[in-house]
Amino acid sequence: MSNRDLSSELHKLLARIDLLATSMQRLQDENRSLRHQIEQMAGERAQLVAKQEQARTRVEAMISRLKS
């Protein structure tokens, strides 16, 4: 293999490494964003569950008062 061939292969390899590094960075950013969304949704879900529990407690109390 000549120096020119080796140089060409090296340039191709470097370009591929750059592409892989860019893809990895994009995937890390996307992963971070998705984890953040999961945390937000889990918080929202907890709030909704708490509100649902409060509503159920109020309805049960009303039913109990109506029965009395």
- Please give the Cα distance from 14 to 21 (Å, whole number): 10
Query: How distant, in Å, are the alpha carbons of 8, 49, 52, 64 from that of 38?
Result: 45, 16, 21, 38
Question: What proportion of the chain, given as a percentage, has pLDDT over 90?
Answer: 90
Other Cβ atoms within 10 Å of 13 Cβ, number: 10
Tens-digit pLDDT profile for residues 38-63: 999 999 999 999 999 999 999 999 99
* Residue 3 pLDDT: 85
- Please give the Cα distance from 61 to 67 (Å, whole number): 10
